[in-house]
Amino acid sequence: MMAEAGLAALWLAAAMALLQLVGGMTLLRGGAGQLVPLIKPAAYVQGALCAFAFLALMWLFYVTDLSVLLVASNSHIDKPLIFKLAGTWGNHEGSMLLWVSVLSVSGAAIALLEKRIESKTLNATLAVQAFIALGFFAFLLFASNPFERLVPAPVEGNGLNPLLQDVGLAFHPPTLYFGYVGLSIAFSFAVGALLTNQVGPAFARAMRPWVLAAWIFLTIGITAGSYWAYYELGWGGWWFWDPVENASLLPWLAATALLHSVSVLATRNALRAWTIMLALVAFAMSMAGTFLVRSGILTSVHAFAVDPERGAFILALMLIYTSLAFVIFALRIGSVKQGEPFQLISREGGIVANNIFLSVILAVVLIGTLYPLAAEAMGDKISVGPPYFNKATVPIAVLLMLALLIGPMLRWRRDDLKRLKYWLIGGAAILLCSGIAVWKFAPDVGLFPLLGIALSLALAVAAWLPLRGRKLLRTPLPIFGMVIAHFGIAVSVFGMAAESGFSSETLTALAPGESAEIAGWQVKLDDVNPVVGDNWVAIEGELQAVKNGNSFVLRPQSRQFFKPEMQTSEAALLTRWNGQLYAVIAQPDQEGDGRWQVRLWWKPFVPFIWYGGLLIAVGGIIALLGRMFRRAKKPAKSKWQTS
């Protein structure tokens, strides 16, 4: 019964979306047609129906209703409750339902809360939103119905892919989805404003919280995904330039650029066409990301999510939305008036530099990700890996960091570098001294780790400078947010540079009782024991790591699986504040002398990469809270801003 109710709700929600779309079209034809007043109520109803449909599916997973095909094939009566519930979105149909539900509920929220933009623009935005939703409704109802029944119902259910039974992984995909959906809302705002010719500060202020929220989710999703790959895949790397990793990085880069340019539009009424362009690109990138993950046209570690037919559907949706949007862009952007002028040395100028560098990185990553596909079309088979991506992106990232050292301190409209001369000299001194110190300490460290450490130290100071001369209690929260996010970048870059420049590695053969040394750690192999698991047997080393009188035990394993026959290394990690000790044990040494091969890494400051990522997200959250508070406190302000 619940399944049928959910399905009916989906159909009705699709009808509501259609009503919104038709209403929006009559609106744009100039007529104040009778359907126009229905757009907002339709958005409320659509949001409520979608929320109901999603909760209905969640309920079916909660009670494990095995007469529903999706539940039967993705759940099991004996599964822990948390994974039962996570099963709701841990599969294709459910995740698409989550997508469209978030989209619809956000549409309702816009209709309910957004008072700053003209009602015509708001209605057009809701119509675009409904147009996007309709594509996903069609996808759900015709190609992947989550409520399909299974006759006869099985007794137990299949269970979720065990690889996905991990709390982190249960929440990683929905986090990215929230980010993608948030960008779709920015897209709707942009197209709505373009259609009604209302590209201005009011539109930017309305769009900004959605961009910010989307960006926060993407940041958290990428940081968590990077850590998961680091400890779970056991290769000791934190970023592989895998196509699916790139698929989440591309929208993040676009969203980061958009986040900055939308501030310029909101504050200074400049960068109008560019902001619209970025909003379209950001959503196109998030659709491309979904497509790359789901279609499997590029070989990746995420191959478990692959289905080519559904990929074709998502591709079709992506092409329809983005090409229509770019057609509207090309036709209408000419009517968008030139924004306010500004000089090169100004806050606007700094943000333009940020946007240019981010866009170049985006283009470089996009080209690298798609190149194998293009090469294959020309009969060549290649894969593009870290050597290309590192070489091509890191120099631009260095320029981006340099811009970040100065940009936030500049004044709007026009500024003079002379005003900042003390900081410019101080910053250059930090760069130079830390560069020389690193070079003295480790002459063969390589240019980029050296630059990375120098830049991150300078940025760690520079990030706080915008607070200088302000009364802290009266400083707006978004300023704090910016400062913390920029500091997070310094922390993260420091971790990346230290890890890539100063990791030490040693491979030795130890008999029980013998020790090895790495980066000041005394690591002794105490014992080697066999252990057994469900479908594997393993040898487990007991390593005692001692440094400065502190002693820790690490237990790396070498596992032998039976079905399929496979050998894996389960690394053991010891996290200290200033780095990680990473231990792997392999097979007995060849000579049969009772020794075991042990591989040890000391990765200095590697956790900083993820601490930094979290700080960046925290900065975003503080800025978002600040925007919401400010709005709640001063509702009167919006009246004179909308004109």
Give residues in contact with other proteins (CB under 8 A).
277, 280-281, 284, 288, 291, 295, 297-299, 308, 311-312, 315, 318-319, 322-323, 326-327, 329-330, 333-334, 370, 373-374, 376-377, 381
* Least separation in angstroms between CB 615 and other proteins: 34
Half-sphere CA count of 465, side-chain side, radius 13 A: 19
Residue type, 639: K
Length of the chain: 643
User: By the 8 A CB rule, do 105 and 16 touch?
Assistant: no
Reading the block at residue 433, the tokens are: 């001294």
Identify the residue whose tokens are 């009602």: 119
Q: Is 550 helix (H, G, I), strand (E, B) or coil?
A: strand
CB of 62 or CB of 371, closer to other proteins: 371
Euclidean distance between CA atoms 582 and 231, whole angstroms:
10
Tell me how far, at minimum, the Cβ of 139 lies from other proteins, in Å.
Answer: 16
**Burial annotation 268-280 (CB, 10 A radius, 16+ → b, else e):** bbbbbbbbbbbbb
Return the number of the residue (308 or 520) whose C-beta is nearest other proteins.
Answer: 308
> Residue 94 CB, nearest distance to other proteins (Å)?
23
Question: H/E element holding 395?
Answer: helix 386-406
Do 596 and 589 form a contact (C-beta atoms < 8 A)? yes
Q: How far is it, in rounded angstroms, from Cα 65 to Cα 553?
A: 45
> HSE (CB half, 13 Å, CA atoms) of 613?
20
Q: How far is the CB of 172 from other proteins (least distance, A)?
A: 24
Residue 334 or 443: the one with the smaller Cβ distance to other proteins is 334
Q: With respect to other proteins, which residue has the nearer C-beta, 155 or 378?
A: 378
| Smallest distance, other proteins to C-beta of residue 373, A | 5
* Residue placing its CB nearer to other proteins in the complex, 163 or 330: 330
Neighbouring residues of 605: CB distance < 8 A, sequence distance ≥ 6: 494, 495, 498, 499, 578, 579
In whole angstroms, how close is the CB of 273 to other proteins at the nearest point?
9
C-beta closer to other proteins: residue 385 or 594: 385
**Least distance to other proteins, CB of residue 374, Å:** 6
Nearer to other proteins, 316 or 477 (CB): 316
Residues whose CB is less than 8 angstroms from the CB of residue 496 and which lie 6 or more positions away in sequence, other chains included: 238, 452, 609
Closer residue to other proteins (CB): 19 or 128: 128
Beta bridge partners of 523: 516, 545
Residue with Cβ nearer other proteins (239 or 313): 313
Six token digits for residue 597: 């091969």
CB 280 → other proteins: shortest distance, Å? 7
Q: What one-character-per-residue DSSP string does 618-641 give?
A: HHHHHHHHHHHHHHHH-TTHHHHH
Q: Residue 622: CB partners within 8 Å, gap ≥ 6?
A: 477, 478, 480, 481, 484
Nearer to other proteins (CB atom), residue 57 or residue 128? 128
| Secondary structure element (H or E) that encloses residue 504, with its range | strand 504-510
Residue 525 phi/psi, 5-degree rounding, is: -85, 110
Nearest approach in angstroms of CB 330 to other proteins is: 4
By beta-carbon proximity to other proteins, the closer residue of 296 and 541 is 296
CB of 588 to other proteins, least distance (A): 19
328 alpha carbon, distance to own chain's centre: 28
CB atoms within 10 A of CB 453: 24
CB of 281 vs other proteins, minimal distance in Å: 8
CB of 295 to other proteins, least distance (A): 6
- Of the pair 212, 287, the CB lying nearest other proteins is at 287
Using omega within 30 degrees of 0 as the cis cutoff, is the peptide bond preceding 443 cis?
no
250 backbone φψ class: left, alpha, beta (φ>0; ψ -120 to 50) = alpha
